Structure 1
Amino acid sequence: MKKFKLIPILTLVFIASVLTMCSKDDKTTAPGITAAQVNTNIVAGNWSVTLYNENGTIHTSDFSGYSFVFNTGGALVATNSPTIKEGTWSSGTDSGSVKITIDFTATETTGSFESISDDWMVLTSTATKTELKHVSGDDGSIDLLTFEKI
């Protein structure tokens, strides 16, 4: 009889273990990435958006033709001649994760540039590609943003 009582308990323990392993938010900053390394990578050259996934909806084409330049002084300029969008950027560490903050809200209060104006966790950063993720504090939705060197 004791064996039959033990089986449901073990089953519940197993299910609880599996559920805690699964997570919607399983991407974190890659080990070894520092804010200084991200800064070095991002200020070197022109970048294009190769992925913008806003909570499961792809909006990459909203940035088609734009060239992004992250200047060392914190200015961020997106150009799609003759259109120029001006914003700011900064980087740092928050809760052990390297983050980039993008802000176009001084000039863009709606639309795609406003929607990428947020703090982004750096998933990967190399000389040719930077992958970012934002988890909304409001509803837990996940956005992904990828820049690749032009």
Structure 2
Amino acid sequence: MTTLKAQLQNDLTTAIKARDELRSGTLRMTLTAITKEEVSGTTARELSDDEVQKVVAREAKKRREAAEAFEAGNRPEQAAREKAEGELLAEYLPKPLTDEELAELVSAAVAEAKAGGAEGPRAMGAVMKLVTPKVAGRADGKRVSAAVKSALAG
């Protein structure tokens, strides 16, 4: 069993014993999503820590989007719960990149792509290929894409 999944299960046990309904419910849903991912496909397999982290990130993103939808639908109680669940899941994710750190990684990837012969806006794909593995799980794809576009335009 991966260490992140084991940590989630241990934290779930602790939350159940402490009768922490929010934490136990959120961790249960997340562990269910992980198990579902493990058994999907032709054969069951155990996920690596990186794959478990991606599932946790996906669940956290769902909570953020649901909170926004509930706020737009004038349901503040539900929005508050979804936000709390998203913040709880964020504890299990790596610290997100700051704008400065992201800009630094993007400029290095742009320089590397230009050294490889990529020029102008058409270099977008080459730069994204270089930068995506470096920011995996620490920055949203939209944010990375916007940073790359601005770096290539400038």
TM over 0.5: no
**Greater strand share, structure number:** 1
Q: For the superposition of Structure 1 and Structure 2, which TM-score range results when normalised by the shorter chain?
A: under 0.3
**Greater helix share, structure number:** 2
Larger Rg belongs to:
1
